[in-house]
Amino acid sequence: MFYQSTYQAARIVAPQVEAIFARHLAAAQESGEEDLAPLPVAKLVENIIDATFWASLRKEEGHSPKISLAFLPPQQAGNPLLFKQRMPLNPATLTKIAPGVERAGIHIGIWHEDDQLYIWGTTLSIPNFCFVLDVSEPGLLVIKHRRIYGFGKFTNIAVLKGEQIKIVDVATINQPDVPPILLSLLDLTAPSYWNDSINVLIQLAVSMRAHQRGGTLLVVPCESGKSSWLQSIIKPIQYSVQPSFNGLAKLLSQDRKEASQIFWQTALRREVDHLAGLTAVDGATIVSDKYELMAFGAKIGRAKGKDMVEELAFSEPILGGEAVIMHAAKVGGTRHLSAAQFISDQRDAIALVASQDGHFTIYTWSELQNRIQAHRIDTLLL
């Protein structure tokens, strides 16, 4: 019997997802790209999302599934792990096999025959613009695809949480003064080499969000003799680092070697997690724009002679998430307000703020608007 979906959000978002992937694949074909994934048509997308959503609400031996599904035939999966017999795509099957495929980078392979979806095995390799559906937590699904170039996190298309649908708006890149980290997350063809500065900042953001304790990371200029940021930090600093710790900085300064790229990527993840872990300590973690650690657990205060922060432009890179002017205190708690004050005082810095509820916000100063910008980007980091 053909699988019948009952999750309303799946039915609503499926045609939009097909249209988005169709545009991406058409543009990639015109530019001569190869190894492109098949187009996920709306009806199949709806059924994949529906089965995965209901599976996400189940438990196997007390654990909720955290899985990733990829829509592709085995022939495009590199060196796939093939099951001897096809398995039906339904919540029960997904829940049963979830414990064995929860590690990062493993995808459950989904394909169809006569419009019937089935599970054929697992894969570590997927083609460009392959439809991927991740389960982040019960009832929270992320639709994404692999970047067409380089090393980096997948590009998100949409996020579903219960009946809430958030579709990423790539037109955000056309807005003025968009911070580079947001441009990189939205630009499908942006190079994202393992040691690219912006890619590292993205990985720091993902790692900060992952520890679920909340935290603030301040990125300040490292120009010789410039330490104006100290004017916005309450003395004494609880955990000042002297000399500055350069574990991540040293790794990024080394030449990229193809033969040992996997080693460097592993080392990079270790250094990123080390630094991001410090943001869980109460107070702000401060690094240079070369990723040298200078302090953590630092308390932010208003710099002498500076005005109290008030209004800012708040936006989210999703359809309907255009910028609105609001008081800085409405974005979040004291962590958000202090980060906004820091950027108001130190306008060449960047502040990244992770909330315990999963929200993630970037604060930057816009010269064009002459005000602080707060971009909420957790939709892109999942």
Angle at 75 between CA 74 and CA 80, to 5 degrees: 50
Nearest CA to 145 out of 38, 43, 50, 54 is that of 38
Per-residue confidence (pLDDT) for residue 176, from 0 to 100: 79
35-83 residue pLDDT tens: 899 999 999 999 999 999 999 999 888 888 999 999 999 999 989 999 9
Per-residue confidence (pLDDT) for residue 149, from 0 to 100: 55
Nearest CA to 110 out of 368, 101, 180 is that of 101
Q: How are strands ordered across the β-sheet holding 311-315? A: 239-245, 293-298, 284-288, 215-220, 350-354, 360-366, 371-376, 311-315, 324-327
Q: Which two tokens stand for residue 50?
A: 């529906």
Per the CB < 8 A criterion, the answer to whether 275 and 290 are in contact is: no
Element (DSSP H or E) covering residue 210: helix 197-210
Q: How do the domains of the chain map onto residue ranges?
A: 8-167, 197-381
**Is 80 exceeded by the pLDDT of residue 147?**
no
Provide the whole-model pTM: 0.86
Question: In a 3-state reduction of DSSP, which class is residue 246?
Answer: coil
175-204 residue pLDDT tens: 878 888 888 888 655 555 555 777 889 899
197-381 maps to which CATH number?
Answer: 3.40.1700.10
Over residues 167-176, the mean pLDDT reads 85
**Is 60 exceeded by the pLDDT of residue 225?**
no
SS3 for 64-75 is CCCCEEEECCHH
Per-residue confidence (pLDDT) for residue 259, from 0 to 100: 45
Per the CB < 8 A criterion, the answer to whether 145 and 155 are in contact is: yes
Between residues 269 and 146, the one the model is more confident about = 269
**Amino acid letter at 3?**
Y
